[in-house]
Amino acid sequence: MKSAPASSGLGSLVRIFFAALAVVTLARAEVATGPAAVTPVCAVSLDTVLRDAGKLAERAGATVMRVEGSSMLPYFGDGSVLLVRTTEFDRLSAGGVVVYRNNFGELVAHRLETRSEAGWTVRGANNAGNDSTLVTADNLMGSVYVTFHSDARMVPGVELANALVKATPVALAASAR
């Protein structure tokens, strides 16, 4: 009995590995040189990254979100894809990146700064000030578990792939408001 070729599964795992490697490389580069205003890019289309992220999300019990904005560069920006896992509020710690719903009803992905009795202050890596909304147990969506990068392109003329992109929830990496 022959087994099915594992090439498509292996290709997905290779893409996931290189996307994760890019995240580690960017984080180390930021420590050495300071924040850069360059969006991390991988030579893989957004729909392919979303499909790969979806496969990992099923195993990890995570939600897939795509990023719009540049406030979290060099870590992630337009065209990046996040896996967000539900996290207990009391387990959060300074420096972690979370997704929360702000007072304007938007999902935002920013870094935890300081905790008070009222909640956590958060700020984008490239924002001068903190967000006006505190992260609380009520508005916390979860912690960013994995970041993927893509070339941010939708596949021209491929309706199904573009529908996947449009159906994926957006987490803003935007200016503080």
Is 133 buried (19+), middle (13-18) or exposed (0-12) by CB count in 10 A?
Answer: buried
Q: How many Å apart are CA 14 and CA 95, to the nearest integer?
A: 28
Considering its fold, how many domains does the chain have in total?
A: 1
> Does residue 67 lie within any of the structural domains?
yes
Q: What is the pLDDT of residue 79?
A: 87
Give the range of the structural domain holding residue 25, as residue numbers without chain letter: 7-173
| 0.85 surpassed by pTM | no
- pLDDT tens digits, residue range 37-58? 566 778 888 888 999 999 999 9
> Does residue 75 lie within any of the structural domains?
yes
Q: What is the pLDDT of residue 27?
A: 39
pLDDT class for 138, splitting at 50, 70, 90?
very high
> Does residue 1 lie within any of the structural domains?
no
CATH number reported for the structural domain that contains residue 91 in this entry = 2.10.109.10
What percent of the chain has pLDDT above 90?
55
> Does residue 34 lie within any of the structural domains?
yes
Strand 63-69 and strand 170-173: the pairing is parallel
Mean pLDDT, the chain, integer: 81
Report which of 126, 120, 122 is spatially closest to residue 75, judged by C-alpha positions: 126
